[in-house]
Amino acid sequence: MSISWFRNLLDAFLCCEAEFKAVLVSGRDPSQFSKPPLDRLIPDLLERAVKALDVCNAVTHGVDLVTHWQKLAQIAVTALNQNPIGEGQVRRARKALNTLLTSMVFDDKENANSNFHGKWTERTRSFGRRGAAAASALNSKDRTAGNFRSLSWSVAKSWSAAKQIQAMSSNLVAPRGGESTGLALPVYIMNMIIVFVMWALVAAIPCQERNGLATHFQIPRNLGWAQPIIGLQEKIGEDWKKKEKKGTAGLLEEVQRMEKVANSLVEFSDTFVFPLEEEKAADLAAQVAELAEICEKMEGLGPLHQQVREVFHRMVRSRAEVLDVVDQVSKLSAPAPY
């Protein structure tokens, strides 16, 4: 679960989302949205999309936090790459690495709201029912501008990523009988993809309150596309169980490697004696080179951040388009005035 893997995952998600919207909306008779089972499934899909927007916001802040860890690690790399290395460089590296590790071991609930920005301001939810002012601004400004600007709001202090994923995965039932041959199946598939992608992001990237994050959700094995997702789900779920026991900062590969090397370098700094022995110098150089490589791979955090925001904007736009169809249905079904 590396940065590059998540970038591929989000690319695939955006492709699926575009194809799904074409199936659901393009050239579709609006009256179908008012008939079973779509009259029940469409509102459920829209509500799930709202919850996914909150997850995107939380993940965006989590990516910012990991970027801060990268900067701290880079400070240590720069200090320890000095030649000859002395007490001053080691103290500087140790301070940066201790700050890094202290941030990593924060409880998940605190991790999203503290440390590198002091304390993030509590703001309203993405499209919460209480966010009337936000919804008004969205309708008046963003729609007239023809695009949706970044809604970089944090989530409420009591918000839980684990509970949000649980809410998204509840009532997610595969269509049966005649429903399995109509639009109900694409809606179910898209719902499942949304839940899986958001769940994987929460498991890997620091988010607020991840304790008790579900390790699996039910997917019928008889569906042709189910096996690859089930395989990924089982692997991620097992890794998450180990993560919760160890209390590490998430499943992102680069973060796990960074934590391991940072701990080793802190141990080195505690026993540092000048001048450095040749064997210890070689071992130090190898660890610093590994940390530098990890920092280099973390340059992908910027593009990943943009992709998460693109997922956010795409879901906002698609949700608006589906709501437009629902509005058409409402107008068609309204009784004629006399």
Three-state SS for 335? coil
Three-state SS for 119? strand
pLDDT score at 243 = 84
Amino acid found at 116: F
Instruction: Kindly state the average pLDDT of the residues 115-122.
Output: 36
Extract long-range pairs of 260-267: CB within 8 Å, 24+ residues apart.
261/287, 261/290, 261/291, 261/294, 262/73, 262/76, 262/97, 262/100, 262/101, 262/291, 263/101, 265/76, 265/80, 265/93, 265/97, 265/291, 266/94, 266/97, 266/98, 266/101
pLDDT score at 79 = 96
Query: Could you give the CA distance from residue 260 to residue 101 in angstroms, rounded to a whole number?
Result: 10
More confident residue, 86 or 119: 86
Domain region containing 145: 3-333
Instruction: Kindly state the average pLDDT of the residues 71-89.
Output: 94
Confidence of residue 117 (pLDDT cuts 50, 70, 90): very low
Query: Could you give the CA distance from residue 252 to residue 245 in angstroms, rounded to a whole number?
Result: 16
Confidence of residue 335 (pLDDT cuts 50, 70, 90): low
Count of structural domains, the chain: 1
Query: Could you give the CA distance from residue 312 to residue 60 in angstroms, rounded to a whole number?
Result: 10
CA end-to-end distance (rounded Å), the chain: 62
pLDDT score at 56 = 97
Instruction: Kindly state the average pLDDT of the residues 77-85.
Output: 92
Average pLDDT over the chain, rounded to an integer: 84
Distances (CA, A) of 61 to 57, 154, 191: 7, 8, 24
Confidence of residue 30 (pLDDT cuts 50, 70, 90): confident
Three-state SS for 118? strand
Distances (CA, A) of 313 to 57, 138, 310, 318: 11, 12, 5, 9
pTM of this prediction? Answer: 0.84
**Per the domain annotation, does 338 fall within a domain?**
no
More confident residue, 312 or 181: 312
**Above pLDDT 90, what percent of the chain?**
58
pLDDT score at 225 = 87
C-beta of residue 183 within 8 angstroms of C-beta of residue 32: yes
Confidence of residue 35 (pLDDT cuts 50, 70, 90): confident
- Reference 220, options 190, 176, 165, 164; nearest CA is 176
pLDDT score at 33 = 85
pLDDT score at 109 = 44
